[in-house]
Amino acid sequence: MSGLTYVSTRGAAPELGFADVLLAGLARDGGLYVPKQWPSITVEALERFATMRYAEVAVEVMWPFVEGSIEYDAFAAIVADSYATFEADEVVPLRDLGDNLWLAELFHGPTLAFKDIALQLVGRLFDHELTRRGEKVTIVGATSGDTGSAAIEALRERATAEVFILHPAGRVSDVQRRQMTTVDAPNVHNIAVEGTFDDCQDLVKALFADDSFRETRNLSAVNSINWARVMAQIVYYVTTTTRLGGGVGRPVAFSVPTGNFGNVFAGYGAQRMGTPISQFVVASNRNDILTQFLTTGTMTIGEVHPTLSPSMDIQVSSNLERLLFEIHGRDGSAIAEMMARFRSEGTVTVDTGRLDLLADHWSAGRVDDARTSETIARLYEQQGVLIDPHTAVGLAAAREARADASVPMVVLGTAHPAKFPAAVEASSGVHPQLPDRLADLFDREERLVTVANDYVAVRSLIENTLDTAR
Ligand SMILES: *Cc1c(COP(=O)(O)O)cnc(C)c1O
């Protein structure tokens, strides 16, 4: 294997090349894969990027991560195809919000949430690698909304994957459900489980833990710990910084609405590669375990509270493990021990010396639902711009935590306002319109099967579907 290799954050899994990391997802020791070294982007390249097209920068930024696993021309074609599905010509447009605050609109992909940026690419990379190997997989995932539709759009009509997405019946919004169930593709199967999101996740875990099912059906996932998703997200930190900073080393700050920590960790990667980023604001809603961690060094699991920004209603941010690995000098056994302790005791504390390594660049902000609503209302009043509740958490935290008002502060817009119409309308009095290509979403036919919250019932449903599909 030539090219970059990847190591596990827990230090006890084999080093793999990109294609194997892509298909493996989680490492065999329970850790997450990270590149063995961070490639660097030269100042000359940063200057060139400022005027290049998004997909061209994407190829150049990601090439060192994939080299050795895929041919250059095939990779460039996949990247071009992935971002041609975006409605905005710039892929990630920047909007001036005044006061040196900027909105990076990451939501112009097929399902109107930033997850499309990673999954449009990852779906195509999966398909390419599985075709090369002559393999076919069964993708099984649970969703509370955004991830399911992004995964379905990324894998629809691919001959290499049958896709089963479980959602809690009656507990996802109408827009989110319809974005999944109106996809008319023979390999896409929506399962509405009579239970909660946690029940769906438990069912998926049980399917993966069922050795004979996992092996005979070649089970796989495209979840948020997959390295390839983080890699794809590095790109917009680079393009945004080079456009606002002129590519000549003038720094930019980012405020990131955070759940599983994948998005903001990609920003860390961009910074490690040489992108001049001076500050990360980790924005959380009422579920503020990350704010606690970054301010005190202690992380304690609590109950998940439902909020206006459901995609950030999370207590354990899996991708944080990648940052912990970096600040512990890449000591895999120390991380393995920490994670075992966190699992058994529900709490873990990092040495202040380690936490100090984050003091210069990292801050955090907690924004409750009332302030989220106010932020949506105020921005609409003052600028006529509608934002979704996740983005509003990012904007409120950015205003509060920014270190230097002379540095451009970019708020990552993680979802289109029309994806969360009820919260946006209640806050601003305006009903956000779906883009034209989704305007008939409520007239399209839905396809889903409802099933009891019962392991055997779900497994038989999937098996029967696979047997008739093949
Ligand atoms: C997934 C998601 C997030 C959280 O992103 P992470 O990478 O998990 O931190 C924030 N906002 C929206 C709209 C999302 O769909």
What is the CATH classification number for the domain harbouring 266?
3.40.50.1100
Q: DSSP labels for 358-424? A: TTTTEEEEE--HHHHHHHHHHHHHHH-----HHHHHHHHHHHHH-S-TTS-EEEEE-B-GGGSHHHH
In a domain, 205, yes or no: no
Q: Is the CB of 312 under 6 A from ligand 1?
A: yes
Query: Virtual CA dihedral for 221, 256, 430, 180, nearest 10 degrees?
Result: 0
Residue nearest to atom 8 of ligand 1 (CA): 260
Q: Is the CB of 265 under 6 A from ligand 1?
A: no
From 114, 117, 225, the mutation candidate for ligand 1 (largest count of ligand atoms within 8 A of CB) is: 114
Q: Token pair for residue 235?
A: 């790109």
Residue that is written with structure tokens 């071009």 in the block: 80
Output the pLDDT for position 246.
65
Among the listed residues 112, 46, 457, the one whose alpha carbon sits nearest the alpha carbon of residue 245: 46
Contacts of 23 (CB under 8 A, 6+ apart): 126, 129, 130, 220
Answer positive or negative: Cα dihedral of 146, 147, 153, 157.
negative
Q: How many domains are contained in the chain?
A: 1
145 lines ligand 1 (CB under 6 A): no
Give the Å distance between the CA of 417 and the centre of ligand 1.
14
Ligand 1: does its nearest atom lie under 6 Å from the Cβ of 390? yes
Residue 144 belongs to a domain: no
- Confirm if 398 and 283 have CB atoms less than 8 A apart: yes
Alpha carbon distance 324, 316 (integer Å): 14
Please say whether the beta carbons of 309 and 376 come within 8 A. Answer: no
What separation in Å is there between the alpha carbon of 311 and the centre of ligand 1?
A: 6
Candidates 448, 441, 450, 451; CA nearest to 178 is 441
Q: Which domain holds residue 316?
A: 94-112+227-428
Catalytic residues: 115
Q: What confidence score (pLDDT) does residue 247 get?
A: 59
310 lines ligand 1 (CB under 6 A): no
**Is 68 inside a domain boundary?**
no
State how far the Cα of 261 lies from the Cα of 9, in Å rounded to an integer: 15
Distance CA 32, CA 122 (A): 17
**Residue pair 247/54 in contact by the 8 Å Cβ criterion:** no
The helix/strand/coil state of 4 is coil
CA of 414 to the centre of ligand 1 (A): 7
**What burial letters (b/e) apply to 186-213, b meaning 16+ CB within 10 Å?**
ebbbbbbbebebebbbbbbeebeeeeeb
**Is 263 close to ligand 1, i.e. is its CB under 6 Å away?**
yes
Residue 403 within a domain: yes
Q: What is the pLDDT of residue 192?
A: 97
Strands (E), 205-351: 219-220, 252-257, 277-284, 298-300, 347-349
Q: Is residue 78 part of a domain?
A: no
pTM metric for this prediction: 0.96
CA dist 113 and 251 (Å) reads 26
Half-sphere exposure of 358 (CA within 13 A, CB side): 26
Please choose, from the candidates 98, 103, 426, 118, the residue with its C-alpha nearest in 3D space to the C-alpha of residue 257: 103
- Which atom of ligand 1 lies at the shortest distance from residue 146's CA? 15
197 within 8 A of 142, measured Cβ to Cβ: yes
Question: Is the CB of 116 inside a 6 Å radius of any atom of ligand 1?
Answer: no
- Return per-residue pLDDT of the chain as tens, 470 residues: 478 999 999 999 999 999 999 998 889 899 999 999 999 999 999 999 999 999 999 999 999 999 999 999 999 999 999 999 999 999 999 999 999 999 999 999 999 999 999 999 999 999 999 999 999 999 999 988 788 999 999 999 999 999 999 999 988 889 999 999 999 999 999 999 999 888 898 899 899 889 999 999 999 988 889 999 999 999 999 999 999 986 567 899 999 999 999 999 999 999 999 999 999 999 999 999 999 999 999 999 888 899 999 989 888 888 999 999 999 999 999 999 999 999 899 999 999 999 999 999 999 999 999 999 999 999 999 999 999 999 999 999 999 999 999 999 999 999 999 999 999 999 999 999 999 999 999 999 999 999 999 999 999 999 999 999 76
Buried b (16+ CB within 10 A) or exposed e, 387-420: bbbbbbbbbbbbbebbeeeebbbbbbbbbbbbbb
393 part of a folded domain: yes
Distance, in Å, from the CA atom of 380 to the CA atom of 386, rounded to the nearest integer, reads: 6
- Asked whether the beta carbons of 153 and 177 are under 8 A apart, the reply is no
Say how many Å lie between the CA of residue 241 and the centre of ligand 1: 20
- Pick the atom of ligand 1 nearest to 263's CA: 7
The full length of the chain comes to 470
Ligand 1 centroid–CA 176 distance in Å is: 14
Cβ(92)–Cβ(104) below 8 Å: yes
Asked if residue 223 has its Cβ within 6 Å of ligand 1, the reply is: no
Measured distance CA(293)–CA(327) in Å, rounded? 14
352 CA to centre of ligand 1 in angstroms: 28
Atom number of ligand 1 nearest to Cα 107:
13
Distance 42 CA to ligand 1 centre (A): 30
Which tokens belong to 139?
């993708």
State residue 230 phi and psi, 5-degree precision: -60, -45
- pLDDT the model gives residue 137: 94
CA distances from 462 to 162, 188, 189, 202 (A): 10, 11, 9, 16
CA 393 distance to own-chain centroid: 16
Q: Is residue 42 part of a domain?
A: no
In a mutational test of the pocket of ligand 1, which residue from 108, 112, 146 has the highest number of ligand atoms less than 8 Å from its CB?
A: 146
Q: Determine the residue of 144, 153, 233, 258 to mutate for testing ligand 1's pocket, defined as the one with the most ligand atoms within 8 A of the Cβ atom.
A: 258
Instruction: Tell whether 143 is covered by a domain.
Output: no
Q: Is 189 in the pocket of ligand 1 (CB under 6 A)?
A: no
